Amino acid sequence: MAALSARRNMSTDSTTSMYGVGGRRQPFFVLDDQAVEDQYLFTSFRFDKKEKCSKLNPVCCKEAKHVYLFKYHFDRLKDSAKCRGWYDAEKCLKRPIDLFNRVEYAVTQYEQKNGKGGPYKIRIKLKYHGNLQIDVMPEQSLYKKPLLYPTTLELFKHPHEAASRCNNFKAVLDALPTNKSLHTKSKTEWRSMYDYARFSAGIESYQDAKEVLLYNAEGEIMDGTITTPYFYRNGKWVTPHTTCGGQMGTTRRWAIDQGLCTLGTVKVETLRPDEVIWLSNSVKGFFTGRFTDSPNRCQAPNYRSNSSSTSSSLTACDTPTSEHPKSML
């Protein structure tokens, strides 16, 4: 453990560590170099008691019918814990109803302190030893009524404002490629590749109507920083395959199961200026955006950390907006 601590506390230039050889984004240190007590998996979703139950929402327990895609979130945590060999964490997720009861209790506690409201964004953190942390916070929707269960992604057949107001949201390409890793394929505590991408694109808040598309060394779109992207290619809607390095997000899984899109490879060079794309996540649902290509779409950050130790997150001196609390989706 002493040797591990020494490696983690070595003075390291953050720019070199992040971009490595050839200017490619990579983690500051590999998973084995991070203390296991600091590691966690997480998932976030929309919780709205006022939302009508939908037949398109897969049910894993009847009590969670009004929770957005709860089945996929339970499966995500359990599968990720199994993949990482976290036996205690996997063991604590025996039944969906047990996890839902924990979520409902957290919402009740929140409302006792802050009054009843909603919708809420729920974030569940699962640590390697099985401890669960559930955070509840208000959610600000993009539209008065979010599009949670689209029956088609065809733009001209969709009456919802989330499909027609594509100019409300902008998507840009990241400044640098990102290495594929466990942290890009699962939702973990390591978020710096997403934080850097958003910072270099000039995004200051998670409420900004702007997204960054990450791509790998082969020039394949991987994912968005907080959304799953969908592109219209060869007469059908395509979302990046997991082999490209991105996550198998909950809304992505749902869209595939519903036959709304297929998995495929989307090359950077095929992106067209002003093309309309779909974006989704399990807090805001589905909505459209417009890809913007310009010479100054992103600027690679050019700064050096003043910290004496290597960190798995941006430090205050690295981030100009550090006075605002960070949010993870």
281 bridge partner residues: 285
Taking residues 175-199, report their average pLDDT: 90
DSSP annotation string for 258-271: TTS-EEE--BGGG-
- Is 77 a domain residue? yes
Q: Quick one: which of 189, 225, 193, 185 has its CA closest to 27?
A: 193
CB 209 within 8 A of CB 168: yes
Among residues 105, 138, 171, which one ends one of the domains?
Answer: 138
- Is 115 a domain residue? yes
Predicted confidence (pLDDT) at residue 74 exceeds the cutoff of 70: yes
- Is 207 a domain residue? yes
Domain enclosing residue 194, as ranges: 160-291
Q: Is there a single domain that holds both residue 115 and residue 41?
A: yes
Q: Quick one: which of 228, 235, 233 has its CA closest to 251?
A: 228
- Is 282 a domain residue? yes
**pLDDT, averaged across the chain:** 80
Q: Is there a single domain that holds both residue 130 and residue 237?
A: no
Q: Is there a single domain that holds both residue 196 and residue 93?
A: no
Taking residues 1-13, report their average pLDDT: 32
SS (H, E, C) 38-59: HCEEEEEEEECCCCCCCCCCCC
* Residue 31: predicted pLDDT: 45
More confident site: 138 or 311: 138
| Top-ranked range on mean pLDDT: pick from 34-38, 79-83, 180-184, 264-268 | 264-268
- Cα–chain-centroid distance for residue 297? 21
Predicted confidence (pLDDT) at residue 14 exceeds the cutoff of 50: no
* Residue 34: predicted pLDDT: 67
| pLDDT band at residue 201 under the 50/70/90 scheme | very high
More confident site: 24 or 170: 170
Among residues 138, 171, 189, which one ends one of the domains?
Answer: 138
Q: Is there a single domain that holds both residue 166 and residue 283?
A: yes
DSSP annotation of 11 reads: -
Spatial distance between the Cα atoms of 188 and 178, rounded to a whole number of angstroms: 16
Taking residues 68-80, report their average pLDDT: 95
Q: Is there a single domain that holds both residue 166 and residue 239?
A: yes
Predicted confidence (pLDDT) at residue 125 exceeds the cutoff of 60: yes
Task: Kindly state the tokens that stand for 96.
Answer: 């969906």
**How do residues 211-242 score in pLDDT, each as one tens digit?**
999 999 999 999 999 999 999 999 999 999 99
Spatial distance between the Cα atoms of 248 and 100, rounded to a whole number of angstroms: 22
DSSP H helical segments within 214-328, as ranges?
A: 250-257
- Is 24 a domain residue? no
| pLDDT band at residue 35 under the 50/70/90 scheme | confident
Taking residues 9-18, report their average pLDDT: 35
- Is 14 a domain residue? no
Q: Is there a single domain that holds both residue 277 and residue 179?
A: yes
Q: Is there a single domain that holds both residue 134 and residue 180?
A: no
Taking residues 33-53, report their average pLDDT: 86
* Three-class DSSP category at 175: coil
- Is 177 a domain residue? yes
CATH number at residue 191: 3.20.10.10
Spatial distance between the Cα atoms of 144 and 51, rounded to a whole number of angstroms: 12
- Token pair 């929707």 is found at 141
* Residue 24: predicted pLDDT: 53
Indicate the range of 37-41, 81-85, 271-275, 302-306 predicted with least confidence: 302-306
Q: Quick one: which of 247, 282, 284 has its CA closest to 69?
A: 282
DSSP H helical segments within the chain, as ranges?
A: 2-8, 14-19, 70-83, 87-92, 96-114, 161-164, 182-185, 192-200, 250-257
Q: Which residues contact 61 (CB under 8 A, 6 or more apart)?
A: 70, 95, 96, 97, 100
| pLDDT band at residue 113 under the 50/70/90 scheme | very high
pTM reported for the whole predicted model: 0.80
Spatial distance between the Cα atoms of 191 and 54, rounded to a whole number of angstroms: 32
Q: What percentage of the chain has pLDDT greater than the value 90?
A: 58
- Is 263 a domain residue? yes
* Residue 215: predicted pLDDT: 96
Taking residues 15-21, report their average pLDDT: 41
Amino acid in position 203 = I
Total tally of structural domains belonging to the chain: 2
